[in-house]
Structure 1
Amino acid sequence: MACVEAFKAEFTRRKVFFQDAKQRELSAPRLTYSLFVCVLQFCSHQGWVLGHTLFRVSAFLFTLITVIVDDATADTYGLSYFYFTRWCFLCIMIYFLFASISSVYYLCTQRAMRRKLADSKANADSSETAAQENCKTAPKTKEASLLWFMKIQWVFYNIALPSSAIVTIIFWGLLYNGWLITFHSFTTHVVNVILMITEQYISSVNTRILHIHHTAIFGTAYVLFTVILWSTTGTIVYPIFDWGTSPALATGVMFGIITMYIIAQFLLFFISHGLEVCAKRYERVETDFEA
């Protein structure tokens, strides 16, 4: 089965260090069947690329404004940054920042590539051989390796996608007891996962199994933060992380969260692989995307 082969192919060194990815995977939109039909009905592919870029930019601005407004209006005096929810929301904001940069870069390079290709064809000799030679020398952005900001983007994607789901599940399943939901709480426990699920569906970013170390480092860093905070100031961020009174419970919760991240990584990989398979059936080559 293709799914089994894709699973086996994940366990290579190239998958860990971003050596098998191209720029297009981090910056271009994904076309599944339903999106393919919608794009053909309402806009060109170039319009869909622009719409995808606008979504990422809008998501970044929305998350940035949400954080700024919360810091300006809440009476927490910076204590909100002690919470795991805020850490995850900041990861979403940072992800969309670098994702926006990647999309704008892709949009600009694609336009430059089409202009150069058009100029090459216009200046080419009438012979077919000369025309083909000019086409071969045109830049191919989709074959380029990842740039540094795309690697940062992928790291935060690996953290933000499972974290948004885990935070939402824990909040509504374990913590919520019927209190009034504020705009900030709704944004950080509902809109967060909507943004990331939408991003996963419409973007070409894939989940790699061996990227689990990104979420492991993130989760471990937060646990160490709660330990340092408790040992130095006596502050207990969550009752389940009371290292003084219930260290066994805190340790169990820590391993429980790590287990959730591991399970989420495998689930997201299979979802990502399914979306990639669907997208390849309807994906057009770059030369067919001209306006």
Structure 2
Amino acid sequence: MSPRELVVLGTGSQTPTRHRNHNGYLLRWDGEGLLFDPGEGTQRQMIHAGVAVTDVHRILITHFHGDHCLGLPGVIQRMSLDRVRHPVRAHFPASGAEYFDRLRHASAFHEAATLAPEPVADGGGVIARGRFGRIEARPLDHSVPAYGYRLVEPDGRRMSADRLRDRGVAGPRVGRLQREGVVRARGRTVTLEEVSEHRPGQRFAFVMDTRLCDAVFALADGADLLVIESTFLDEDARLAHEHGHLTAGEAGRVARECGVRRLVLTHFSQRYPDPEAFRAQAAHWFPGEIVIAEDLTRVPVPPRL
């Protein structure tokens, strides 16, 4: 199975720095690639990270501020240049459809790839279903219409080798049992429930520019991996609220209250020279694993429980 991991392409906020590009995040999930918020320079960052546009199956835009979307023209044109054969679906706030269209056709090029816009209507909800489960969108509290996203894998079953052996189920019958839920062995009917245990599906959440609001907690609920902005440090909480952003402490509080397993902080203001200060403030609330995102790094989704 392909790895489940986050490839970090950029971690800056409005102003990039020498070490932090504008936003960009690729989630690899069982062969599906979800590209979130490709800011300016994303195409080049993908090359540095060893990511190809053929790896992208969906593009998800939280909102249309430049640091979250100005990389779209390059990514879209590269899709055609590299002859991406599969359709790429694009999700974005419906109120920003005009911006999306302008970015899509920012310059002349021969369009050879299939890009399928799927605007997120007011209120959000479930916006996609597939082998991965479902993708949900919820409106956030920012200065322009913005959405956060989360991927929810369906719950499944974990097979027990001991139970299978005790009931005489082996070889091709195991696969048949998983597909059909029942199989005959040793003259009796064996059900899937008899030889397996409940396995909770994994969850990924992506929360960018927003003030603290109910949607942030709803998106982060039970996330195995939460990627969340922490643009400001706590001492600048007033400034954060005025500009529609979170602080590191608020991100840590969300992670603790929502039972997050691995917390990824990102979207750092250029005003702060020491990223470890964000870790310290988030750790005041959240005792679990905290990752301070760096450009071109990879963050695995935690192993299944």
Shared fold (TM-score greater than 0.5)? no
Length-normalised TM-score, structure 1: 0.28
Higher RCO structure (Cα 8 Å, ≥6 apart): 1
Length-normalised TM-score, structure 2: 0.27
Larger Rg: 1
Please state which structure has a larger fraction of its residues in strand: 2
